Every structure is written in structure tokens, then in C-alpha cells.
Amino acid sequence: MDVYYIDGDFVSADRATIPVNDLAVLRGFGVFDFLRTYGGRPFHLRDHLQRLQHSAEQIGLNCPWSVEELEGIVEQTLQRNRHEESNIRIVVTGGPSEDFITPGTTPRLIVMVSSLIVMPAQWYSSGIKIITAPIERLMPGAKSIDYIPAIVALRRAAEQNAVEAVYLDGSDRVLEGTTCNIFLFGDGKFITPDRGVLSGITRKVVLGLVQSRFPLERRDVSLAELLAAKEVFLCSSNKEVVPVVKVDEKVIGDGTPGPNTGKVRSLFDEYTRAWATGSTPQL
């Protein structure tokens, strides 16, 4: 049975509860971050915790824990769980509210550790299909717990035999996936949207790996440009680097994972293998 941390206590997953007057329950008010381990070592934990704090600041949620305190709590929770590799989810909720809408002064901290969920190998060997969805997140710089648009978009994706949905704004500008960032390759360069998207930690690593080896542009991307790309891939903590071979009903390139995406995936695999040994590779 997994062990979670909730407000200073370590409890088994089947006994993990929060009060129903918590604003996370009542209003979806809270932030979270998510990462995985390599070799049992949390991947870029400090970056994720700094983003958690930034997310809380963005929505006006008090997050009184320092990065060092949060690191200690995550490590203690990991030690109480025996997984070869783990998923880690850190949540800060709005806490109890007397009038059921105004944040109080006691936010709640939750750390959940579970066994790593491994994505299907076929995603990486054959590529995946994604769909586009006309959705803009209200505060894209904050990783909030309000995932209604994402859940609706992923349901639509599943109905179309797709793995992921990528958001478009009102001008058909490509933004990001429900839980990932997107890159495309065309005209000899990689391109990734850089406005109105979450600053992904895996994206940060990929950018570091790509920019010293390929021409790279961080700028607005139109839907037409995405559909005309030679290669497309998504990146995230749980998906890592996954090739896209179909967007809506448009085949990307020749319908197979592209060679440049393969190079990026190999570089990322090399980076994470080094991370698992205890080093912090240079980007």
C-alpha cells in the first residue's frame, strides 16, 4: 500500500482524506506539480518545486513551505514507499474556507508517491495520433488542479482513437497539450510554441539538448504550420519524448517517427541514464 503525506502525517493511501470544506474540493482552488524518478532519484525536483511555488503565487495561494522543506518532505515520502521507480505528485490546496469561497490562512500540503506508470512501447516505435482542441487555459503559467478542459479534451481524443489533445487559441495558434509541450520539425529546424504555455521541466531539458545541436526557434506556431511539419513530438514528465505521426486526420511526414525526433529521444534517454547514476548532466 502506498504511503502519502498529508499535513504533517504519513498515511496509507486507503486512509488518505481531506475535509470536504477544502477549497480544492469546493472550488478546484489549488496547484500541483508532477515528476518521476530515474534510478530512484527525483528528476529535477528543485525545478518542479520552484514551479509549484510560482503556480501558487500566480493564483494568489499562500504556499508557506520553502523549497528545502518541500524537498525534505518529498524525500521522506519516497523513503516510505518501495517502488523501483516512482511517480510523485505534490499538491497545495486552498485549505478550509469559512464561507466556502474565500481562501483561509491554512493551505494544505499533500505528497503522493506511487509506482511509475510506464507508457506503451508502441507509442515510441510507431508514434501516436493527437487531436486539436479549441481551448485556452485562463492562467497557462500556473499548474492548477482545475483540469476540466483537459479531461473533456482527452475524452474527445479517446473517442477519435488519439492519445493526446493539443490546445489552439481563437486564432488557431498552437499552444500545448493537456499534460505536455509540443515541438515540430520543418525546414531544417525545431520549433516550439513559447507564448501562452506552461514552462515544462521536461521541455526545459529538451530545449537544452536541442539548442546546441539543431537550429531552434521559440515562437508562435499556426495550425497550418503544425499540419505541414515534417516531424512532431510531445514531451512531458511521464511521456518523455513521444513522436506524433497524425494530427487530427492529417498524417505527419511519412506517417512514421522521424529521424530528428529519434535523435532527440536518444539524447534525452542518455541524459536520464546519467541522472539515474547521481550526476546532473550539462545541457
- What is residue 2's predicted lDDT score, i.e. its pLDDT? 98
pLDDT greater than 80 at residue 283: no
Mean pLDDT of 154-159: 98
- Percent of all residues in the chain with a pLDDT value above 90, rounded to a whole number: 96
Cross-strand bridge partners of residue 31: 92, 144
- What is residue 264's predicted lDDT score, i.e. its pLDDT? 98
For 110-153, write each residue's pLDDT tens digit.
Answer: 999 999 999 999 999 999 999 999 999 989 999 999 999 999 99
- What is residue 282's predicted lDDT score, i.e. its pLDDT? 80
Average pLDDT of the residues of the chain = 97
Q: How far apart are CA 143 and CA 131, in angstroms?
A: 22
Mean pLDDT of 182-190: 97
Which CATH superfamily includes the segment(s) 121-276?
Answer: D-amino Acid Aminotransferase, subunit A, domain 2 (3.20.10.10)
- What is residue 108's predicted lDDT score, i.e. its pLDDT? 98
Cross-strand bridge partners of residue 224: none
For 27-63, write each residue's pLDDT tens digit.
Answer: 999 999 999 999 999 999 999 999 999 999 999 999 9
3-state secondary structure the chain: CCEEEECCEEEEHHHCCCCCCEHHHHHCCEEEEEEEEECCEECCHHHHHHHHHHHHHHHCCCCCCCHHHHHHHHHHHHHCCCCCCEEEEEEEECCECCCCCCCCCCCEEEEEEEECCCCCHHHHHHCEEEEEECCCCCCCCCCECCCHHHHHHHHHHHHCCCCEEEEECCCCEEEEECCCEEEEEECCEEEECCCCCCCCHHHHHHHHHHHCCCCEEECCCEHHHHHCCCEEEEEECCCEEEEEEEECCEECCCCCCCHHHHHHHHHHHHHHHHHHCCCCCCC
- What is residue 281's predicted lDDT score, i.e. its pLDDT? 85
Residue 68 phi/psi, 5° resolution? -65, -40
- What is residue 232's predicted lDDT score, i.e. its pLDDT? 99
- What is residue 198's predicted lDDT score, i.e. its pLDDT? 96
Instruction: Provide the grid cell at 198.
Output: 506552461
- The CATH number that domain 3-115 falls under is 3.30.470.10
Q: How far apart are CA 128 and CA 251, in angstroms?
A: 11
Contact 233, 241 (CB under 8 A): yes
- Quick one: pLDDT band at residue 179, thresholds 50, 70, 90? very high
Mean pLDDT of 88-104: 96
Do domains 3-115 and 121-276 share one topology? The answer is no
For 208-221, write each residue's pLDDT tens digit.
Answer: 999 989 999 999 99
Domain residue ranges of the chain, discontinuous segments joined by +: 3-115, 121-276
- What is residue 83's predicted lDDT score, i.e. its pLDDT? 97
- Quick one: pLDDT band at residue 279, thresholds 50, 70, 90? confident
